[in-house]
Structure 1
Amino acid sequence: MTSGTSEALLAGIVLLGSCVQWLTGMGFALVAVPALVLLLGPAQGVVLANCAAGAISVVGLAGGWRRVRPAAMVPLCAAAACTVPAGAWLTRRLPPSVTLSVMGALVTVAVLLVMRGARVPALRGARVPALRGARVPALRGGRGAVVAGAAGGFMNSAAGVGGPPISLYAVNAGWTVREFVPNAQFYSVVVNAFSVAANGVPELSGTRWAWVGGAMAVGALAGRALAGRIPEAPARRLVLTLALTGGVTAMGKGLWGL
């Protein structure tokens, strides 16, 4: 693969992930991580996803930080801080094929959890349906926050996808969409910062960083432009289908390499 082709593919992956994030309020990591891992390798793909998802959440949080619930975020983020190192250790110590298999499996499980248990609301409040999903007693109260935060931290640093456990916690805590969005973004900012601190910064050239930054900006503009034109349900199904396909593909490639 030539350098130009690789950079174009990288930009396309980031652009798609950024677009669906702004279009549906979820999906950057679920859509982008499997492709980034296949293109850049497990370690670099995950940490780039951590950087990009964290940056997108910072921008999204700018208008809603006053609605963040510190009482809920403290146990969630504290638990994540405890498990992020374990996920980072996993990506560094396991053989590449095993790591790819584990990441593909985590992404696949995360997508299935979202499909079965909860729908993450879109960022644009006027178009958001209520959260819904199966009630799980273990994910309620302080203990539930610790369980969800710990699972999310491990999955985020190991595979770049830490959102589904927080979505399930929000469902079981009875949060409204208005409450969920800024708190999920705050959690994303914190846990991705922890993950980058544990895994390091992606080793990309200046040219590749420029492609990534430009793709994120274009994806955000495209997602916002499409948000009012594409029905949310079909868009969400497409995002989850792409994510599930990517997770299964990454897992299959890893198992084949074994």
Structure 2
Amino acid sequence: MAAGWGGAVLLGLVVLAGSSVQRLAGVGFALVAGPALILLLGPGEGVTLSNCAAGAISAVGLATGWRQVRLARMLPLIGAAACTVPLGALVADRVPSPALLIGIGALVAAAALLVIRGVRAAGLRGVRGALAAGAASGFMNSAAGVGGPAVSLYAVNTGWSAREFVPNAQFYGVAVNLFSLAAKGAPHLAAPAWSAVAAGIMCGAGVGKALADRVAERRARAVVLGLALAGGLATLGKGLWEL
């Protein structure tokens, strides 16, 4: 990434975009901002910063929505994620950068396509579905920063409404990203970059809250998934180029 405040401003804008989406939809920070963060900072720091920022913006949203959290239904998701986060962290630490870029890009693109298609499966319902979704999400969140799609698919197959999904996804986002940061540590950024990230999170929280009352859910979802697919393919291309 470019040094100094110029690079920090670019980083802040990426975080702002991802935070706006996360505050609007409950998930989506990593799908929108993750590929750009990885291209700017590399796969290790990019994914870790994605975990950090996604957890922070989830906490901001949860501050006003915590009463809607369905704790009993979230515990299997969170418990399963806690078991697979260390494996994802191990993979991220051991896999060479080009291969990790290819893997992350492919995961982001595939996750976006699965959510676009609204995949339905009996195995993604009930406690068994929660355990499967949580295990997949924990691994993907720690290794690639994209834990949201597995939870989204679980919610679709369980029949959750958007109003139910957002606060529960924010609660899950706080938990799984704390697990991921505990496994890998915090990102190493200079002071200007941290300042830009913090500003991006706070501005994104405001933008996302304002958009929630003005943008139709279907349109917002289409934009998010389109950006995610493009970002995943760009990351995949960079990994292939570096081989």
Q: TM-score higher than 0.5 here?
A: yes
Q: Which residue does 1:166 correspond to in 2?
A: 151
Greater than 6 Å deviation, 4+ residue runs: none
Question: Which AA in structure 2 matches 1:112?
Answer: L
Give the 3-state SS of the residue equivalent to 2:64 in structure 1.
Answer: coil
Q: For residues 175-222 of structure 1, what are the alpha-carbon distances to aligned partners after superposition, in whole Å with 9 as ceiling and x for unaligned?
A: 233332222111111100000101110001122111110111122222
Greater shift, 26-35 or 58-67, is seen at 58-67
Give the 3 Å change call, closer, same or farther, for CA 171–197 of structure 1 in structure 2: same
Count matched residues.
242
Structure 1 counterpart SS, 2:187: coil
- Corresponding position of 2:209: 224
Partner in structure 1 of residue 135 of structure 2: 150
Structure 1 runs not aligned, ≥5 long: 118-133
> Which whole-Å CA distance do the structure 2 matches of 1:221 and 1:66 have between them?
20
Secondary structure at the residue paired with 2:177? helix
Matches within 5 A, 1:143-222: 143-222=128-207
Aligned residue type for 2:175: V
Q: Which has the higher helix share?
A: 2
**Aligned equivalent of 2:58:** 57
CA distance in 2, matches of 1:67, 1:43: 34
Quote how far apart the aligned CAs of 1:165 are: 1.0
- The residue aligned with 2:35 is 34
Structure 2 equivalent of residue 247 of structure 1? 232
State the Cα distance separating 1:59 from its structure 2 match: 1.5
State the TM-score, normalized to the length of structure 2: 0.93
Percent identical: 60
Displacement after TM superposition at 1:69 (Å): 2.3
Give, as a single letter, the amino acid of the residue that structure 2 aligns with 1:88.
A
Give 1:148 shift: 0.5
Match of 2:109 in 1: 108
**Residues in 2 aligned to 1:257 and 1:65: alpha-carbon distance in whole angstroms:** 44
Letter of the aligned partner of 1:89 in structure 2? L
Cα deviation per residue 1:78-118 (whole Å; 9 max; x = unaligned)? 1101110111111111111111111111111111111111x
Per-residue CA deviations over 1:33-87 (Å, capped at 9, x if unaligned) read 0000010111111111111111111111122223322322221111101110111
Select 2:219's aligned residue among 230, 234, 240: 234
TM-score, with length taken from structure 1:
0.88
Match of 1:137 in 2: 122
Pairwise CA RMSD: 1.6
Partner of 1:122: none
